[in-house]
Structure 1
Amino acid sequence: MQSVLQYRRFRKILEAQLERDDEKVAGLRQQRRNHRSTKNSPLALRKDGGDVAAVDDDENAAQEDDTRQGNFSTTPSTTSSSTRHATAEIDIEQTPDPDLEAGDLHIVPTQSTTGTTLGHALTGIEVRDRTTKEGGSELGKVFVVAWEHEKDPMNPQSWGFARRTTATMVLSFIGGIVGFASAIDSAIIPQAMEEFGVSEVAESLATGIFMIGFGAGALIAGPFSETVGRNPIYILTMALYMVFLVGAGAAPSLSAQLACRFFSGMFGATPLVCAGGSLSDLWNPAERVFAFPMFACFSFLGPLIAPLVGGWFGESETLSWRWTEWITLIASGIILIVVVLIQPETYHPILLKWKAQHLRRLTGDKRYRGGIEIRKTPLAMRLVRALYRPVLMFIQEPIIILFGLYLTVVYIVLFTFLTGYTFIFTDIYGLSQGMTGVCFVGQMVGVLSCGALIPLNVHLRKRDIARAKALGPDVKVAPESRLYWAMIGGPAIPISLFWMGWTARPDISIWSPLLASVLFGFGILCVFMTTYQYIIDSYEVYAASALASITLIRYVISGAMIEISIPFYRNMGVAYTLTILGSISGILVLIPFAFYKYGPAIRRKSKYAPE
């Protein structure tokens, strides 16, 4: 709905721009007439022999080019305003005027030349030859549509702060509810395993298979969103994800439940891949310092709220465990309605395609094209690249390998806590199923406490921007400016795991492991934000493939680890399990510090990271 209204608003904005630029065209033509009158006209009429005087070379070139291109002018594009105006002056054709006597010629602007003059006069239009990949120059000129100016109201980064914040909140709700769906089944394992007659490990697959579906869906969501836009993909995939939630809730057997959970996870992966792009559409790099934490907080709160809610459904005597799927379905439906009603389209190439479509209708000139319309790479080819490039980058790129490993370990700890909290708070402290879910509030507090670091990171970002500008106006801030989150919060993860592992004992207060979980929540969000922002800034155009690689690896491995977590906690015990995880994460704490020092040298050797 909002996208439809947005599309209609584009037409009104362009009508106003055309009115302004029509005045430019009229002024250019008047300048041309004045110029010719002062030179006694370059085309003289001679009745003595019926011959026509020579036309100046530029005008002949323009006329011959028009003939070759099927009556379309092909004046070279320029960047300066004065050159563009000069070029537009010669953009005419010689057309016989029936009101003149035989043998006389008169210069009459045709529709084609008028359109070309308008194309040159319009702000934000690049008139150029088609490249080889676009079909070659033999297809004629193309008018490539861009933003009119830096504050173009069609550009999402020019929208008001409140409108962009609202769009970011909607994205955050999508990420939150999908994360909620991924973890909700972990809270009702005892009830579901009893009904299906399977083991605890087998039923925990309902959570693990959903996360593996996340990883599979991450590979295909990006290319589709870059073809049809963000909103259609959000709406379609959310609808399909909800359909399979219904199947999981009504499943008569474990196999049916697992199949539906996998496909629900696959279609629910869209926010994990596309939301980062949507945030980049809305906010410039400096603004993402405070915009990205907003999305990250909600994305992590989802899987932490899920066991809190699901635990009470599990021990309820009146509601079935299947209500965990129904409550997820209801919340997802509400969010889907919000997306349809108020979420605008933000993908820049699609918005410029809309702009080009309106210009073609308003001017009758078919040469206006958005960049995405003249790109010849088919969707099938982009899907193939989406399948092999993330794997290739994970093998070849040290940044992807190390940060992918770091985030994977963090997610292993996070999602094994879904089953591990039962061993910590139920077995050791004797809490009920519902109260064990409440213990996840500690991690929620830790996640939200990251907001306290936003002012510090804004200050550090501004400092780095000032240093870059001092080196030159075109110098960009190095991606290493994004590492501060993990450098500050990363050490909190191993500290919290050692703390929780060795104080979770009956003779020590329950508040000790709960406080340790606050520190863990703080650390995981810091690492997550650093990883995503550092990779986006490092790989730019290849960021989608890089993020897809990390998403695939971390969800597939952490989903598989959920199956191992139950026997791991049971056989090794809480203290040794968390000590092993804490030791691994302690070694990985060095990664952001290493990249802060050696990151520029590593990126220079990469074929995917631009200098």
Structure 2
Amino acid sequence: MQSYLQYRRLGKSVRSQLDNASPVKETPTAARDSDTDTPTNPDEISQHVPRSNQSPLARTASWGSSRTALAYSIAGIDVQKQSESPDQPAHLFIVGWDGPNDPQNPRNHSVASRLTATLLVSALGWIVGAATSINSGVLPQNTEAFHVSDVVGSLVTGMYLLGFAAGSLVSGPLSEILGRNAVYVSSLTLFMIFIMGIFGCPPLTCAGGTIADLWNPLEKTLYFPMYAVLSSSGPVLGPAVASYMGQTGVLSWRWTSWIILIGSGAILVLIILFQPETYGPLLLKWKGKHLRKMTGDPRFRSEMDMEKIALFSRIGGAMKRQFLITIHEPIILLISLYMTVLYIVLFTFFDGYAFIFTDMHGLSQGLTNIVWVAMYVGIMLSGFLLPFVYRGTKKNFTQAAEAANGADPAVDPRALDNVHTQPEIRLWFAMFGAPFIPISLFWMGWTDFPSISVWSPIIASSAFGLGTICVFISSYMYVIDSYGIYAASALGFMTVSRYCAAGGMTIVGIPFYRNMGVHWTLTILGCISAIMVPVPYVFYRFGPAIRSWSRYAITEVVKV
């Protein structure tokens, strides 16, 4: 609905532009329908004749070279001269935004509209994330109903995560062809039918793009963490939602799927009604279509119209680029490895919490599921870091904007749009949170005894949530700022790798905890995560040098 309304608004905006276009000098009759005498001098274009009663559309249809002159008079149109050839026109009219304040540009929408769009994407991320874990809350009832072992029952979560990995290969390229909304709506519709991970991955691969469409680099410092905190609550709170299902006789364990279906349906309705299309190249493609229709001139084209790459070729190219960008980039390799370790720990907790809290401390199944709320408390605590991180980031961006073009962002917020400052400032979250991860795992592992209060591992789980979300926020923002146009490929590999590993480890989590015991399992995971702690500090210190070796990373930044 919102996409359709945007399409209509673009049409009205184009018609208004044509109605208000400056009249141009009529060309001689012999030159009509010819493109060879196109006025290219702005002074020549400004020599207007009095406006007639004809509409711009009628004048455009009857004057040859005046079509090109009209294109010069429309804001946002870049007239490009082509090499002379009978197979192509002498000029192309490349459609762009009317200017930095074009109201059709998603970054110029009201704060309320952009915030609503961000919250809807966060809600979408929440529901597909909750589906990864909600079945772990009813694992005993699930296995009993199907007469299978706990390991086989955990395949539900494992296969779902592997589906996330597979879908991530194609959802990113699709969003850059069909637009964000088309992918969100179609994938969520299929997700509701099948509740399969392969259809639930777009919020993971496309949400970063949506937020980048809506907010400038400084604003992302606030709104990407907001998205991360809200959407990451899905996997963490999924077991809590299923706390007492199948145990009280009120709701059976099958309601886990019904709740995901109902929640998905509600979010789908909200997205259809209120989520705007945010992908700028697609909006400009719509604008070009309106211009071609209203002027009858096929030379109005957007950058997307110029691309002639088939869908499957683009998907194949994106998959190939994910592999190529990875084998050459130590930044992506190490950050992907770090995220993989964190997700292995997180998703093995779906099996391990029963060993940690039920077997060791005697909590009921329902209370063990509710304990997951403590981890989300830790995730929300990251919000207290935002004022300090934002203040430092704003100071850095302001200095960079002044050094780059002498502009004051306080007067002109657009001065920040094209400023590339050091991406390493995005690592502040991770540098704060990384030590909490091994500390929390050692803490949870070696205080998990019946003689020690159950609150000790509960508080430790909050520390793990705080550390994990800080590393997640920094990892995404650092990769986005470091790789620019190649960020989608880098993030795609990060998503595929961590969900493949997490899907496999979810299945082996039960034998791991059962055979190694809680203490040694968490000790091993804590040691592995401790090895990864220096990663954000190393990149903060040596990141500029590492990026200078890269063939893909952004190296031209403003140093302050």
TM value normalised by structure 1: 0.83
Secondary structure of the equivalent of 2:92? strand
What's 2:42 paired with?
A: 84
User: Could you report, residue by residue, the CA deviation over 1:235-261 in whole angstroms, capped at 9, with x for unpaired residues?
Assistant: 11111111113xxxxxxxxxxxxxxxx
What's 1:25 paired with?
A: 23
Unaligned runs of 5+ in 2: 50-59, 406-417, 556-560
Secondary structure of the equivalent of 1:573? helix
Secondary structure of the equivalent of 1:128? strand
| 1:444 maps onto 2:444 in alignment | no
Contact in 2 for aligned 1:174/1:335 (Cα 8 Å): yes
Change (3 A) 1:63 1:608: farther
Higher mean alpha-carbon deviation, 470-479 vs 481-490, is at 470-479
* Partner Cα separation in structure 1 for residue 279 and residue 443 of structure 2: 45
| 1:370 maps onto 2:328 in alignment | no
What's 2:8 paired with?
A: 8
What's 1:223 paired with?
A: 173
What's 2:186 paired with?
A: 236
The correspondence for 2:77, drawn from 115, 125, 128, is 125
Which amino acid letter does the alignment assign opposite residue 573 of structure 1?
G
1:527 Cα offset (Å): 0.5
1:589 Cα offset (Å): 1.2
1:11 Cα offset (Å): 1.8
Change (3 A) 1:160 1:244: same
* Partner Cα separation in structure 1 for residue 2 and residue 133 of structure 2: 31
* Partner Cα separation in structure 1 for residue 82 and residue 484 of structure 2: 25
The aligned runs of 1:513-524 (5 Å cut-off) are 513-524=457-468
Which amino acid letter does the alignment assign opposite residue 564 of structure 1?
V
1:112 Cα offset (Å): 2.3
* Partner Cα separation in structure 2 for residue 468 and residue 553 of structure 1: 35
Which amino acid letter does the alignment assign opposite residue 176 of structure 2?
E
Which amino acid letter does the alignment assign opposite residue 429 of structure 1?
H
The correspondence for 1:415, drawn from 322, 327, 347, is 347
The correspondence for 1:280, drawn from 191, 194, 212, is 212
The correspondence for 1:557, drawn from 490, 494, 501, is 501
Which amino acid letter does the alignment assign opposite residue 323 of structure 2?
V
The aligned runs of 1:401-412 (5 Å cut-off) are 401-412=333-344
Which amino acid letter does the alignment assign opposite residue 215 of structure 2?
W
What's 1:585 paired with?
A: 529
Contact in 2 for aligned 1:75/1:87 (Cα 8 Å): no
The aligned runs of 1:310-389 (5 Å cut-off) are 310-389=242-321
Q: Does 1 or 2 have the higher relative contact order (CA < 8 Å, sep 6+)?
A: 2
What's 2:54 paired with?
A: none
Contact in 2 for aligned 1:494/1:583 (Cα 8 Å): yes
What's 2:117 paired with?
A: 167
Higher mean alpha-carbon deviation, 576-585 vs 331-340, is at 576-585
Change (3 A) 1:240 1:310: same
User: Could you report, residue by residue, the CA deviation over 1:558-579 in whole angstroms, capped at 9, with x for unpaired residues?
Assistant: 1101112111111111111111
Higher mean alpha-carbon deviation, 384-393 vs 150-159, is at 384-393
1:75 Cα offset (Å): 4.5
Which amino acid letter does the alignment assign opposite residue 141 of structure 1?
H
Change (3 A) 1:201 1:112: same
Task: Give the number of the structure whose alpha-carbon radius of gyration is greater.
Answer: 1
User: Could you report, residue by residue, the CA deviation over 1:431-469 in whole angstroms, capped at 9, with x for unpaired residues?
Assistant: 111110100011111111111111111111112213424
Change (3 A) 1:445 1:73: farther
Change (3 A) 1:455 1:131: farther
The correspondence for 2:144, drawn from 194, 208, 213, is 194
1:528 Cα offset (Å): 0.5
* Partner Cα separation in structure 2 for residue 362 and residue 290 of structure 1: 41
What's 1:95 paired with?
A: none
Contact in 1 for aligned 2:23/2:48 (Cα 8 Å): no
Unaligned runs of 5+ in 1: 33-58, 78-82, 92-107, 246-263
Of all paired residues, the percent bearing the same amino acid is 47
Contact in 2 for aligned 1:85/1:121 (Cα 8 Å): no
What's 1:497 paired with?
A: 441
What's 1:71 paired with?
A: 34
Which amino acid letter does the alignment assign opposite residue 159 of structure 1?
H
Q: CA RMSD in A?
A: 2.4
Change (3 A) 1:517 1:145: same
The correspondence for 2:520, drawn from 571, 576, 579, is 576
The correspondence for 1:204, drawn from 124, 148, 154, is 154
User: Could you report, residue by residue, the CA deviation over 1:528-565 in whole angstroms, capped at 9, with x for unpaired residues?
Assistant: 11111111111111111110000000000011011121
Secondary structure of the equivalent of 2:432? helix
* Partner Cα separation in structure 2 for residue 597 and residue 430 of structure 1: 46
1:310 Cα offset (Å): 1.7
1:16 Cα offset (Å): 2.4
Change (3 A) 1:109 1:3: closer
Which amino acid letter does the alignment assign opposite residue 163 of structure 1?
S
